[in-house]
Structure 1
Amino acid sequence: MRQAAGVGAWHLDSGNKEQDLLEYPSIIHHGGAEGVTGSCHRLQISPDHAILIDCGLFQGEDLKGQSSFERHQIEFPIDDVIALVVTHVHIDHIGRLPYLMAAGFKGPIICTPPSARLLPLVIEDALKIGFTRDRRLIERFLDTVEIHLDPSPYGAWKSLLNEERHKVKVRLQNAGHILGSAYVEIDVEDERASLDNRYVFSGDLGPPDTPLLPDPTPLERADVLVLESTYGDRRHEGRRTRRAQLKEMIYRAQREGGSVVIPAFSIGRTQELLYEIETLLHERKEGEKGERPLIIVDSPLAARFTEVYRDLKPWWDSEAKARLDDGRHPLSFDGLVTVDSHDDHLDMVEHLATTNTWAIVIAASGMVTGGRIVNYLKRLLPDPRHTVLFVGYQAEGTAGRQIQRAKRGAEVVVDGERMAVNAHVKSISGFSAHADQYDLLRFVIDLGGKVKKVRLVHGEEASQRELARYLQRNVERIEDITFV
């Protein structure tokens, strides 16, 4: 366990449960502490009461050389887990749910109402990839998940434990990462120890001014803050800058007779990109004529998520609602095409590879770990007419990171095939759904010094180390800053 220079120590887990649980409450990580995937954190309240915060899949190097099935087995105790609290429904935060329930978990799954709508879609996709395509078995499992879902509105306290010694309650607050995302506040009262502490798990925090989403709710108090650090060592471009960069890449593709191919997560990033693309198309001068790009969403899952996003308008921000009032439809507009069947997908790949069609393609997966984006890259990456645009974090060990780092003309391996990177490869960090270094600082500063201990998770070591230094320099009265 590492700590920032000059910062004191406090009780953290060593990996030995019997040793670690000499003090309560205790925080133990079952993923997402030393990397950016597999988020799963345990708040051990007493020897027989624990709460899990997220239970996600590992990707890239976080698989540690194991098969997906081996890596995702639930090898930690669950008999004492009284609830699973879900911060949001990205696969790296909720994808181990089938494994968790197969291991015997039968408690409530607490999440926001939008997450309750979106979660079954994510789990259905995870089951198809990792378990079975038997429709009957999938529906049976989803019915079981629905029984355990316990939606909780933002800002409302929910009691999880009310015994003579321990009283525990949980509250979800808007995290601004994707629709329905939340950070988790857990209040623990221990009558014998005269303890009254608030534990806050940030989940993934979003930056301010994200399309469709209200800004994250400021923190009220945190005795212990478990804080993500994905972009703890860097800053994002502002919204105006990233929109201008996107516009330039789109029109350069037109000049060069090619397409812009964007690997993007099906939920969150795809919808935000559509919102910004609609903005760019709307800003064209009134009466301006000429070719318009074909906007392609080639992901059945992303298309389903987009439909649900449209249904969840009450959780949109005021800017997005105002557009609807003006008769604009930021997630459904002229020129937007969704590709459903696999045959249509293969036809679209071939069409873009053999013609000068001007198109913007959004396809999963966001880190090029599989999905339809792979077929686009196999055909378009060697062609200098095209542009591959990364708008999200690429974890170490993924094909996305390999392509992002490659020099033009170098070779990379995609889906087992070696190919030259002749297409333009660009990145816009401003489209990330993660808060950057300054945003994370503001999240802590907004507490006004009411945070005692900070533990950094969900980041590579360099990011965690730099964020620890940054917080130490800029925030007074933090007793301890630690990271794994």
Structure 2
Amino acid sequence: MHANIIHHGAFRGVTGSCHQLFIDDARSLLIDCGLFQGAETAPDGLSGAGQPDIPFAVDGIQALVATHVHIDHVGRIPWLLAAGFKGPILCSEPSARLLPVVLADAFQLGISRDRQLVERYLKLLESRIRPLPWRTWYTVFSSSQASCRIRLQRAGHILGSAYVECEIRRADEAPVRVLFSGDLGAPHAPLLPTPQPPYRADVVVLESTYGDRVHESRATRRDRLQAVVERALGNGGTVIVPAFSIGRTQELLYEFEDILHRQRRKPGPHAAAWEKLPIHLDSPLAGRFTQLYRELQPFWDAEALARVRAGRKPLAFDQLVAIDGHDAHMANVRRLARSGEPAIVIAASGMCTGGRVLNYLKAMLHDPRHDVLFVGYQAKGTPGSDIQTYGPRGGYVDLDGERIDIRAAIHTLSGYSAHADQNDLVRFVTRMRHLPSEVRLIHGDDEARRALGKRLWNETDRRVVVLNAE
């Protein structure tokens, strides 16, 4: 028996995750349904950042499995429901708490801000969500001719993120187990346990976002984060951190709290400045997610829980300043742009495609006192990618139709990526007791897929067929 899979997104790029696994000729399971970002499109070209409609039939889809709640994995759910999808939305218990907040925001940005319409949509959405416990098989469909069950395992990418084991049985055929990685996290990520590979899989559909590189160590990344901030302390500037509202923001807060804690215990040359340094969280949505993270504390890893038991507050420390209203946001932009006050600002969006971070960038990118720190993947065609690419060369970027010369220092810390790197991805496959016969590489640029494919080919002694999505 082979696995019949159609990739509707994240096939020749990183975003727009959407994969259809067929149970039989008429029935299927959908893994994720995310928005495209930047210049990326569906393989058929019918869907993209400006065309989120669902171009495939949904009648036979028995369920949607949401691996996690990042917008490039769940952002097209409103359009999936509008297309007539009637099945349940299966996800982990933390994701079930986070998903309505993510999709309410996506609905208001992409469809309508009408309050009654949003509330009606959320009521429909919440009636479809089915939270599943970790490591427990759940039957999606069963008949005398075919069946499908799934199991969620911790993926370590953001809180609630899962990889999905799917077992399909058909009459008179051996069962096949297909694994969808979703986004796998890096080991030692703040708040999250390291993902562990399963015992076996026949087919692995594997992300390859960082399939061509190896991240910095955790200790190195914290030191570099501290160094970037201390440069700003001397310059009288602001460190602008474009960050996704969920996942990356909470990891950064966790790391900043740790730096502040270490400076108090063993003061360095900038300890006095750190003690007064405000860390602005300028994103109401990120603030809501941070509160939900605090409420979901039982799902944190052992290290984070140990800090809580020691009386620390990893996501609610004293120097954290939350900015909610738009007027307060604009006042903060003006004040930091004019003053010599060192500060850290964490603001969405992570790829600078919109949100409050744009106002900071428009006010400060031209000024060499300031720093921009990227801690996550920047999809091609996004302003974040342009700043990351052309900023170090003294180039410019177009923001809201305005050309901004880049004079601020631009930094990238790959060690803060929430994605597994090449070593992690290879280990995830090779540490299975029974290797898969096939690995399909998705969620990566061409170079990343090719590099990861070559290494998997070599390290599995060519016992695994590696299919690059090309």
Match of 1:476 in 2: 461
Match of 2:337 among 343, 350, 353: 353
**Matches of 2:381 and 2:41, distance apart in 1:** 9
User: How far, CA to CA, are the matches of 1:206 and 1:67 in structure 2?
Assistant: 27
1:146 to 126, 141, 160: 126
What residue in structure 2 maps to residue 102 of structure 1? 82
1:380-436 alpha-carbon deviations (Å, 9 max, x no partner): 110000000000000111100100011343222122211111000000000000000
Q: Classify 1:203/1:67 alpha carbon distance in 2 versus 1 (closer, same or farther; 3 Å).
A: closer
- Which residue does 2:187 correspond to in 1? 208
**Residue equivalent to 2:71:** 91
Amino acid of the residue matched to residue 45 of structure 1? I
1:33 is aligned, of 11, 16, 19, to 11
In 2, are the aligned partners of 1:390 and 1:426 still within 8 Å (CA)? yes
How far 1:448 sits from its partner (Å)?
3.2
Indicate whether 1:74 and 2:54 are aligned.
yes
- Cα–Cα, structure 1 residues 33 and 311, in superposed 2: closer, same or farther, change >3 Å? same
* Post-superposition offset of 1:67: 8.9
**Correspondence 1:421 to 2:399:** no
CA deviation string 1:229-248 (max 9, x = no partner): 00000000000000000000
1:335 paired to 2:319: yes
Instruction: Name the CA distance, whole Å, in 1 between partners of 2:218 and 2:265.
Output: 23
Evaluate the alpha carbon distance shift between residue 323 and residue 77 of structure 1 in structure 2; reply closer, same or farther with a 3 A threshold: same
Task: Tell me, yes or no, if structure 1 residue 397 matches structure 2 residue 381.
Answer: yes
- Within-5 A mapping of 1:375-454: 375-406=359-390, 407-454=392-439
- Residues 194-222 of structure 1, C-alpha deviations (whole Å, 9 max, x = no match): 22100000000000000000111222211
Structure 2 residue ranges without an equivalent (≥5): none
Residue 244 of structure 2 corresponds to residue 265 of structure 1: yes
Alignment partner of 1:248 is 2:227 = yes
Give the partner amino acid of 1:78. Answer: V
Shift of 1:277: 0.3
1:226 shift after superposition: 0.1
Cα deviation per residue 1:328-348 (whole Å; 9 max; x = unaligned)? Answer: 000000110111111111011
1 CA distance for matches of 2:77 and 2:128? 11
Q: Which residue is equivalent to 1:223?
A: 202
Task: Find the aligned partners of 2:307 and 2:191 in 1 and give their Cα distance.
Answer: 10
Matched, 1:123 2:108: no
AA of the residue aligned to 1:228: E
Question: What residue in structure 1 maps to residue 170 of structure 2?
Answer: 190
Report if aligned partners of 2:249, 2:346 keep a CA contact under 8 Å in 1: yes
- Give the direction of change, closer, same or farther, for the CA distance of 1:120–1:384 in structure 2 (3 Å limit): same
Contact 1:115 1:181 in 2 (8 A): yes
Q: Distance in 1 between matches of 2:322 and 2:140?
A: 42
Shift of 1:477: 5.3
Seen in structure 2, the aligned counterparts of structure 1 residues 26 and 63 have a Cα distance that, compared at 3 Å, is closer
2:272 to 280, 285, 290: 290
CA distance in 2, matches of 1:449, 1:25: 17
Deviation at 1:168, TM superposition (A): 1.1
Kept in 1: contact 2:13–2:445 (CA 8 A)? yes
Question: Would the aligned equivalents of 2:3 and 2:203 in 1 still touch at CA under 8 Å?
Answer: no
Give the drift of 1:162.
1.5
Decide whether the 8 Å contact of 1:112 with 1:180 is kept in 2: yes
The answer to whether 1:309 aligns with 2:293 is yes
Q: Distance in 1 between matches of 2:20 and 2:47?
A: 24
Partner of 2:292, secondary structure, is helix
C-alpha separation between the residues in 2 aligned to 1:78 and 1:368? 33
Contact 2:457 2:465 survives alignment (8 Å): no
Q: How big is the alpha-carbon RMSD for the aligned residues of Structure 1 and Structure 2? A: 1.5
Residue in 2 that maps onto 1:3: none
Q: CA separation of 1:419/1:281 partners in 2, compared to 1, >3 Å: closer, same or farther?
A: same
Is the 1:367–1:400 contact (alpha carbons within 8 Å) kept by the matching residues of 2?
yes
SS of the counterpart of 1:237? coil
Q: How many residues align?
A: 461
- 2:39–2:48: 8 Å Cα contact kept in structure 1? no
Q: Return the match for 2:24 from 40, 46, 53.
A: 46
Measure how far apart 1:66 and its partner are: 8.3
In structure 2, the CA distance between the partners of 1:57 and 1:259, relative to structure 1 (3 Å rule), is same
Q: Residue 300 of structure 1 is aligned with which of 284, 287, 303?
A: 284
C-alpha distance in structure 2 between counterparts of 1:477 and 1:450, whole Å: 11
1:87 and 1:167, CA in 2 relative to 1: closer, same or farther beyond 3 A? same
Secondary structure at the aligned position of 1:43 is classed as: strand
Structure 2 contact 216–414 (Cα < 8 Å) conserved: yes
> Which digits, 9 at most, give the CA deviation of each residue in 1:260-299, with x for residues without a partner?
1000000000000000000000001448562321101111
One-letter identity of the residue aligned with 2:219: R
* 1:92-139 Cα distance to aligned partner (Å, 9 max, x none): 000000000001111010000000000000000101110111111101
How many Å separate the matches in 1 of 2:141 and 2:47? Answer: 37
Question: Percent same amino acid among aligned pairs?
Answer: 52
- 1:445 is displaced (CA, Å) by 1.1
TM-score of the two chains, using structure 1 as the length reference: 0.93
Report the counterpart of residue 117 of structure 2 in structure 1: 137
**Distance verdict in 2 for CA 1:24–1:476, change over 3 Å:** closer
